[in-house]
Structure 1
Amino acid sequence: MNRLRQVRKSKGLTLEELAKELQEKENLKIVPNGLGKYEREEREPRRETWVKLADYYNVPVAYLMGLPDGLVQHINKTQTMTFEELHEAIIQWAENRNMISPKNTSRQYMKVSEELGEIAEGINKNNREQVEDSLGDILVTLIILAQDLNFDLLDCLKSEEKSKHYHD
C-alpha cells in the first residue's frame, strides 16, 4: 500500500492544496481527483509523477510507493544479490501488496506493455537513465505477470536456455 495519503495528511494538506502546490513548485499538472485515485490505488502514477511527488515531500520514491524495507534493501544491494534472490524478493513484495492473482493478468500485461513503451521512448530520446529504469520496471512487471499466469520466470528462462542448446 502506498504512503501518498499518509504523507499528505502529515503535511496537513487537502487534495486541492496539494494539486495547487504541485503545479507551482514541481510544474506537475494534476487535478485533486487524480491525486485521490493515486492515494486509493485506483490508478498508478507514472514514473515522472512518483519522482515529482517524492521530490515535493522530500522522501525516497520507494518509501512513497510503500515498498517494503526488505525489497528496497535488496534492490539497493543488487551487487551482492543473486538473480534468484532478487526474483524471490520481488514476488514477496508483490504478494504483500496482493498484486499477484490470475484476475490481474490483463492489467499486469498492460503494465508490461506500458513499460515497453517507456523503454522505446528512452531509446529514441537517447535517455540512458530512462532506459535503465524501464529495464528494471520491465523485469518486475514480467516476474509478476509470470506469477499471475502460474509460471516461474526462472523456469521459463531455464526452458529457453535448454531450447538454445538443442537448436545449436
Structure 2
Amino acid sequence: MDQLIKQVEQWSIDKGLDKGNGFTQYAKSSEEMGEVAAALCRNDIDELRDGIGDVIVTLVILAQQNGMSLQECLEQAYGEIKDRTGVMSKDGSFIKQADL
C-alpha cells in the first residue's frame, strides 16, 4: 500500500496536480464518489472496485496538496473512532453513542 501511495504521489507531481487547487480536487473526489454510488446501484463489482480506487487516488492527491499524507489523515480519523461506541441501525448504519 505504501508503494502504491508513493506511486500516486509521484504521478501527481509528474502531472503538476500536487500544486493544484484543493477545492477542485475535492470536487473530483465527489465526482468519483458518484461513480461509486452508481456502481453500487448497478451491483457492478468491477466498477465499484475501480470507483473506490479512484476515490483513494483523489484523496491521496488532496492530502498531498495540503501538505499531509493519507496515512496521517487515516491515523487521525482512526484515533477519533477507535473507542467510539454506539449501535447498528436497522438499515446497517452505525450510530455513535453521542447521537443517540
Task: Please indicate the TM-score interval, normalised by the length of the shorter structure.
Answer: 0.7 to 0.9
Which structure's relative contact order is higher, taking Cα pairs within 8 Å and 6+ residues apart?
2
Matched, 1:92 2:10: yes
Gaps of 5+ in 1: 1-82
CA distance in 1, matches of 2:3, 2:45: 26
For residues 99 and 119 of structure 1, the distance between their equivalents in structure 2, rounded to whole angstroms, comes to: 22
Report the AA paired with residue 154 of structure 1: Q
Aligned residues: 85
Which amino acid in 2 is paired with 1:108? Q
CA RMSD of aligned residues (A): 1.5
**Post-superposition offset of 1:167:** 4.4
Residue in 2 that maps onto 1:162: 79
Match of 1:144 in 2: 61
- Distance (Å, rounded) in 1 between the aligned partners of 2:83 and 2:46: 37
Cross-structure match for 2:28: 111
- Give aligned-pair identity as a percent: 32
SS in structure 2 at match of 1:107: helix
| Rg (Cα) greater in structure | 1
How many angstroms does 1:88 deviate by? 1.1
Kindly state the Cα deviation for residue 160 of structure 1 after the two structures are TM-superposed.
2.0
**Deviation at residue 140 of structure 1 after TM alignment:** 0.3
- After TM superposition, give the deviation of residue 104 of structure 1 in Å: 1.5
CA distance in 1, matches of 2:4, 2:61: 13
Cα deviation, residue 166, structure 1: 5.0
The equivalences for 1:26-41 within 5 A come to: none
Equivalences for residues 1-168 of structure 1 within 5 A: 83-101=1-19, 103-165=20-82, 167=84
Give the distance between the partners of 2:50 and 2:23, measured in 1 at CA. Answer: 23
Q: CA deviation at 1:119?
A: 0.6
Alpha-carbon offset, residue 129 of structure 1: 1.1
